[in-house]
Amino acid sequence: MRLIIILLLAVLSASAQNWGTALSDLPKPKDYRLRRSSSYDRTGGNADARRVAPGDTITVFEEAGPGQISHIWFTIADKEEKHLKRIVLRAYWDGETTPSIETPIGDFFGLGHGDYFLYQSAPLAVGADKALNSFFPMPFRKHARITVVNEGGEPIDALYWNIDWRQFSSPLPADMLYFHAQYRQATPATAIPEAKTNLDGKNNYVWLETSGRGHFVGVTMSVFENDDRWWGEGDDMFFVDGEKLPSINGTGTEDYFLGAWDFGGKPFSYQLFGAPVVGPEKKGSKWSLYRFHLDSPIPFQKSLRATIEHGTSDDRGDNFYSVAYWYQTEPHGAFPKLPAVDERLK
């Protein structure tokens, strides 16, 4: 039993898409049964998609544990404009009544403006054509359920999915944490033009505010400029376990997302960081960014407030859309109410 637990811990603690480790571990025996939940045609034909009417909810995954989701893939045929902002993804672990994942489906995969584009990172990727992929490990002990809700005004003509998961014969370790993803937006962020300094981050854009024990693993963020000039002088600030002043304080937006000098006007995407959408520094421009802390997740024992300034000392009022990704104990704190469709489209 001790050997099984050690092997299980090794499997669950591996970083997403750590290909070096994955290759070296290929000769080792696996202690799970690989399962898949998919939209395949149960009659044996080729009608492998589901139609989802406006207002309807479809359950794409419902399984008993112990297990761990290792990969999620969706592709969507929907003629409605900005359907990626209108369709909502939710996930519930072990019978909880409030979701641990709640976000527009496009934002979950880093497409924060509701438009498709291609990029590759370690935990998330969008491939040709309109292929949405997640490699975040999502463990559950007794039960897991994932739903997709069509909050648009038109039907989803075809929703396809493949969700791969590992079914274990032994219980998960007692200290295993649960995956969470939370959407937030500010349309616009409230500008504080008179502010010259900012030490306490009270007016910052908030990626995440949560209580419990866990660790922050990353964020995707999209920005719509409401004014000309460079918008990204905002410092990231992390307040761990009730800190009044941040113990982690950065030097600028492009620095936190591991670019430099206004991202150089060029889009890029790497395994842990990227700016796959880079616009001119003009009113009406769009930007999309991501940063994953797979090298060193940010741990917290009691609480975490993860934020970033919107401009120098919060002096700009651009539109921000983000999804924070983290692992923590349950129960989690209440999520902010998901904005209505009309609000998400601003």
- Could you report the per-residue pLDDT of 162-196, keeping only the tens digit for each? 999 999 999 999 999 999 999 999 999 999 998 88
Who contacts 194 (Cβ-Cβ below 8 Å, separation ≥6)? none
Give the model confidence (pLDDT) of 189-204 as tens digits: 999 998 889 999 999 9
Q: pLDDT at residue 158 above 80?
A: yes
- pLDDT of res. 195: 85
- pLDDT of res. 326: 98
Q: pLDDT category, 14, cuts 50, 70, 90?
A: very low
* % of the chain beyond a pLDDT of 90: 92
Q: pLDDT at residue 251 above 50?
A: yes
**Which whole number is the average pLDDT over 4-13?**
39
Beta bridge partners of 35: 165
**Which whole number is the average pLDDT over 191-220?**
96
- pLDDT of res. 8: 40
Give the model confidence (pLDDT) of 40-70 as tens digits: 999 999 999 999 999 999 999 999 999 999 9
Nearest Cα neighbor of 56 from 172, 147, 121, 186 is: 147
Helix (H) or strand (E) holding 303: strand 303-308
**Which whole number is the average pLDDT over 15-19?**
54
Q: pLDDT at residue 13 above 50?
A: no
| Domains of the chain (ranges, CATH numbers) | 32-171 (2.60.120.1390), 179-344 (2.60.120.1390)
The total of other beta-carbon atoms located within 10 Å of residue 192's CB is 18
Tell the burial category of 191 from Cβ atoms under 10 Å away from its Cβ (0-12, 13-18, 19+): middle
Q: Give the full edge-to-edge strand order of the sheet including 303-308.
A: 205-211, 303-308, 236-240, 248-249
- pLDDT of res. 3: 37
Tell the burial category of 311 from Cβ atoms under 10 Å away from its Cβ (0-12, 13-18, 19+): buried
Q: pLDDT at residue 10 above 50?
A: no
Using the 8-state DSSP alphabet, how is residue 332 labeled?
P
**Which whole number is the average pLDDT over 283-303?**
97
- pLDDT of res. 17: 53
Q: pLDDT category, 23, cuts 50, 70, 90?
A: confident
Q: pLDDT at residue 296 above 60?
A: yes
pTM of the model: 0.93
* % of the chain beyond a pLDDT of 70: 94
Helix (H) or strand (E) holding 293: none
Residue type, 197: T
Helix (H) or strand (E) holding 14: none
- pLDDT of res. 19: 63
**Which whole number is the average pLDDT over 228-242?**
97
Alpha-carbon distance of 224 to 167, in angstroms, equals: 42
- pLDDT of res. 18: 64
Q: pLDDT category, 21, cuts 50, 70, 90?
A: confident
Handedness of CA 141, 109, 59, 335 (dihedral sign): positive
Give the model confidence (pLDDT) of 317-345 as tens digits: 999 999 999 999 999 999 999 999 999 99
Alpha-carbon distance of 21 to 141, in angstroms, equals: 25
Q: Which two tokens stand for residue 96?
A: 């909880």
Give the model confidence (pLDDT) of 69-122 as tens digits: 999 999 999 999 999 999 999 999 999 999 999 999 999 999 999 999 999 999
Alpha-carbon distance of 83 to 159, in angstroms, equals: 12
Question: Chain-wide mean pLDDT for the chain?
Answer: 94
Q: pLDDT at residue 220 above 90?
A: yes
